[in-house]
Amino acid sequence: MGNVFKGSGQHLDLSNGGTEVFIDVLMLAVSDLAEAEWAYRFAALLTLQDQNVMGRGAVGFDLGDIVWGASTLECARSKDFVLRTVALALRRHRWNELGYDPPLARGYLLQFETMVKSFVPSAGGTQLGEGFPSPQERAVASCTRHRILSALPHWEGCFLCNRPNPS
């Protein structure tokens, strides 16, 4: 079983373990960069990829299902935020907090970065994309123990707290 992240006609097919690593490193970065509502919505989308909560092999998303913004400028800002998040993760931001070395994460991030760079978001107004969290569902809670955005109060803790053996 695995998970698929799609965009621009490309696929990032990851094993369950690969998905965990990919989302872990993105969550560490997004937690420190998010400041605007859309960024917190994107962070919420990432929290929904926690297989310890959602189920193994049951996650993934398509860039085309994300509501990037109502205008071309909003879409560009949103895309820039995702690329900045990936760039921060590629610099191994906070990876020392994972408790393991993710040797394949760089390759996953580079492939995702290529997908996002080539993706052309279309201004979609304010309708909700399939599976993209609404403004009310954005991830504004932060785990006090790990300083990581989470789906609190829906889930108790961040992805590190939800691990079978949390750090």
pLDDT for 125 equals 47
The mean of the pLDDT values for the chain is 82
pLDDT for 4 equals 87
Strand partners, 12: 5
pLDDT > 70? residue 53 = no
Under 8 Å CB-to-CB from 43, ≥6 apart: which residues?
Answer: 27, 30, 31, 34, 138, 139, 149
Average pLDDT over residues 8-15: 91
Digit-coded pLDDT (tens) for 65-116: 899 999 999 999 999 999 999 999 999 999 998 888 998 999 999 999 999 9
pLDDT for 167 equals 42
pLDDT for 3 equals 81
Q: What angle do CA 63, 67, 68 make, to 5 degrees?
A: 80
pLDDT for 126 equals 43
Under 8 Å CB-to-CB from 81, ≥6 apart: which residues?
Answer: 33, 36, 38, 39, 42
Model's pTM, two decimal places?
0.85
Digit-coded pLDDT (tens) for 119-138: 999 876 445 456 787 776 67
More confident residue, 79 or 166: 79
Measured in Å, how far apart are the chain's first and last C-alpha atoms?
A: 26
pLDDT for 48 equals 82
pLDDT > 90? residue 166 = no
Per the listing, tokens 């872990």 go with 24
Separation between Cα atoms, residue 84 and residue 71, nearest integer Å: 20
- According to DSSP, the β-strands at 141-142 and 149-150 are antiparallel
